[in-house]
Amino acid sequence: MSRYDYDLFVIGAGSGGIRAARMAAATGIKVTVAEQARTGGTCVNLGCVPKKLYVHATEYGAAFSAATGFGWQATTPAFDWATLRDNKSALLSTSNQAMENMLAKSGAELIRGRARVQTAHSVEIAGTSCSAARILIATGSHPVFPAIPGREHLLSSDQIFDLERLPERILIIGGGYIASEFAGIFNGLGVKVCQLYRGDLFLRGFDTEIREFVAGHMRRKGIDLRFNCDVEKVEKEPDGSYTATLNDGSLLTTDLVLAATGRRPNTSELGLEQVGVELTAAGAVKVDDFYQTSIPSIFALGDVIDRMQLTPVALAEAMTLVKHLYQGGATPLSYQLIPTAVFSNPPFSSVGLSEEEACQRYPQVDIYTTEFRALKHALSGSGDRILIKLIVERNSDRVIGAHMAGEGAAEIIQGVAVALKAGATKAIFDQTVGIHPTSAEEFVTLRTMTRSHNR
């Protein structure tokens, strides 16, 4: 019989924490999960799920406008924000309950409250101390605000889903995927959107050609997208509006200000440093290939280790950890060739290297691109276009990067990612018969090289 109350004590019931708890409990060990908020973490409650629902809302609006070219004669119906917001909330409540049911069915216990690490083998929660053979930190991350006068007037992405009413104007500060996705959402719901980013071009880290393509399309959709621009301060006006003073001295008046300027790991007030768990300068938990911290009995995964803040990555980390600790034979998770998507408008998705990264890593790189209008827009009247791009390492002919911007990008790149993971060459892509007429077939019909790089 174990000398501890639990074999595994998980702090945080987000995607990674729940997956680890369920899988560990399935091996027969005693597991508990501590959570002070709703189960499901950021993804279910404040990220992926509600965000994608709101993206779908914009797609319905666009579809009404496009339908006339296909013979549908109807006026565009009015949009009701409260219906979308409340239906979203009801669905999330159902999801929260479903996750709690899955935990219970697996045999893992759920304890409500804020947990704090006391020692290498003990946790305090709600005034009670529990001992554990191992402790897993899966506490996620939180939004951070810029340090400017008037920061108390800013909203974060955690608050934006449940607005009492839809604003007429919104100012979005930031150039990452969260800022860009909400710019598309609010624009698609009829809000006047201005997005500011302090750098030369937003969506840093993605392929430059894709970023430029997306920026051009966002502007054509009416988003006021400004680069090399930042907010100096925000003031609230007597009528309830806000005035933002920009770094060029100009003023911008808006109804809401959303700050999407990054997220930081939730490691404060957990007792980690007091027991000797090493953190990075940014506050992330330092871990090895199997998510063990500087204290052998304490582990961490997901956003709190700040490797890749993606839900599927946290799930994969959880599976790797449980296999390593309780099933044996685990190999470290590879963070290469992980596909990702940004649900901006237009959306885009990528797997593998960008053109810039490929040129730094390999001496000879070939680029294949195509830009076109999807068949349905021949009748819809929409000016939306699609950009598809393959990056090939010439010596091996291996496809080392695939990118797509436009409708269906995430769904299509998910399949392409399998090919890249399997080491597919450009010749394999060329030998694959496409499905016609689809946008996806362009990945296997790219025959003419756009450009090449040599060094």
What CATH number is associated with residue 113? 3.50.50.60
For residue 95, pLDDT over 60 is answered with yes
Give the pLDDT score at 93.
96
Amino acid type, 39: T
Q: pLDDT category, 126, cuts 50, 70, 90?
A: confident
Alpha-carbon torsion (312, 314, 315, 319), positive or negative = positive
Q: Is 56 marked active-site?
A: no
Tell me, yes or no, whether 218 and 293 share the same domain. no
Residue 2 has pLDDT above 80, yes or no: no
Question: Beta-carbon neighbour count of residue 247 at 10 Å?
Answer: 12
Predicted confidence band of residue 329 (pLDDT cuts 50, 70, 90): confident
pLDDT at position 6 is 97
Question: In terms of DSSP H, where are the helices of 267-365?
Answer: 272-275, 311-322, 355-361
Would residue 415 count as lying in a domain? yes
Q: CA 269, CA 247: separation in Å to the nearest integer?
A: 35
Q: Exposure of 346 by Cβ count < 10 A (0-12 exposed, 13-18 middle, 19+ buried)?
A: buried
Average pLDDT over residues 314-336: 94
Could you tell me which of 325, 324, 350 has the C-alpha nearest to residue 337? 350
Q: Which is the catalytic residue, given 217, 324, 436, 453? A: 436
pLDDT category, 328, cuts 50, 70, 90? confident
Residue 193 is part of which domain span? 151-261
Segment 173-182 shows an average pLDDT of 97
Q: What is the mean pLDDT of residues 338-357?
A: 98
Count of helix runs (H) and strand runs (E) in the chain: 12, 22
Predicted pLDDT of residue 330? 85
Q: Is the pLDDT of residue 1 over 60?
A: no
Question: How many structural domains are present in the chain?
Answer: 3
**What confidence score (pLDDT) does residue 215 get?**
98
d(CA 286, CA 238): 47
| Cα-based distances in Å from 23 to 16, 28, 271 | 11, 9, 26
Residues 131, 203 within the same domain: no
Judged against a pLDDT cut of 90, whether residue 56 lies above it is answered with yes
Residues linked to residue 265 through DSSP beta bridges, in sequence order: 141
Residues 17 and 136 in one domain: yes
pLDDT of residue 381: 87
Instruction: Name the 3-class secondary structure at 17.
Output: helix
- Looking at 261, 277, 302, the residue that finishes a domain is 261
Q: Is residue 339 part of a domain?
A: no
Residue 455: its pLDDT value, please? 84
Q: Quick one: which of 289, 335, 342 has its CA closest to 308? A: 335
Same domain, 248 and 177: yes
**Residue that wins the pLDDT comparison between 83 and 73:** 83
Average pLDDT for 91-119: 96
183 exposure class (CB count in 10 Å sphere: 0-12, 13-18, 19+): buried
Together in a domain, 272 and 368: no
DSSP 55-112: HHHHHHHHHHHHGGGGT---PPPPP-HHHHHHHHHHHHHHHHHHHHHHHHHHT-EEEE
Of all residues in the chain, the percent with pLDDT exceeding 90 is 95
Across all residues in the chain, what is the average pLDDT? Answer: 96
pLDDT for the residue numbered 350: 98
Cα–Cα distance for residue pair 227/221, rounded to 1 Å: 17
pLDDT of residue 392: 98
Both 39 and 131 in a single domain? yes
In a domain, 313, yes or no: yes
What's the half-sphere exposure (Cβ side, CA atoms, 13 Å) at 235? 8
Lowest mean pLDDT among 137-141, 166-170, 358-362, 381-385: 381-385
Q: How far apart are CA 96 and CA 15, in angstroms?
A: 11
Residue 333 lies in a domain: no
Are 133 and 188 found together in one domain? no
Residues 138 and 268 in one domain: yes
Which pair of tokens denotes residue 439? 């946008």
Token pair, residue 333, equals: 């998770």
pLDDT digits (tens, 9 = 90+) for 27-37: 999 999 999 99
CB atoms near residue 397 (< 10 Å): 15
282 C-beta neighbours (distance < 10 Å), count? 10
Residues 25 and 100 in one domain: yes
pLDDT at 154: 97
Q: Give the percent of the chain with pLDDT over 70.
A: 100
Based on the domain organization, do 62 and 116 belong to the same domain? yes
Q: Residue 223 and residue 95: Cα distance in Å, rounded?
A: 33
**Mean predicted confidence (pLDDT) in 143-168:** 96
